[in-house]
């Protein structure tokens, strides 16, 4: 019998993870009004993406920009925007 590894069992598309997180968030709002959800989500997701990718490339901004599909100057701007810029 072939038992899947921990990583294989937990693997799921990013969209499914985001959907689940948003559903939980809205459920937790318990009927309270929700405003500006798009910007709230972006302000949480974008720094997470930047952190993960910067760790993945060991801080190499050129490589990170390539992985993200953005210019190095845009990456630097976003790192600064979220207080993630390294010296």
Instruction: Let me know: does 84 contact 54? Beta carbons within 8 Å.
Output: yes
The whole-number average pLDDT for the span 49-75 is 98
Find where tokens 């010296």 sit. 87
pLDDT at 43 exceeding the cut of 60: yes
Measured distance CA(23)–CA(83) in Å, rounded: 28
Q: Closest Cα partner for 78 from 56, 46, 38, 55?
A: 46
- Give 64: exposed, middle or buried? Use CB within 10 Å, 0-12, 13-18, 19+: buried
Cβ partners under 8 Å of residue 59, min gap 6:
86
Say what the pLDDT of residue 4 is.
57
Say what the pLDDT of residue 31 is.
87
């Amino acid at each position: 019998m072939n038992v899947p590894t921990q990583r294989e069992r937990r693997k799921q598309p990013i969209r499914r993870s985001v959907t689940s997180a948003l559903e939980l968030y809205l459920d937790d709002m318990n009927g309270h009004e929700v405003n500006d959800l798009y910007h709230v989500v972006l302000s949480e997701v974008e720094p997470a993406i930047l952190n993960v990718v910067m760790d993945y490339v060991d801080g190499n901004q050129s490589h990170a920009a390539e992985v993200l599909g953005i210019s190095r100057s845009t990456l630097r701007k976003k790192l600064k925007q979220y207080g993630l810029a390294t010296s």
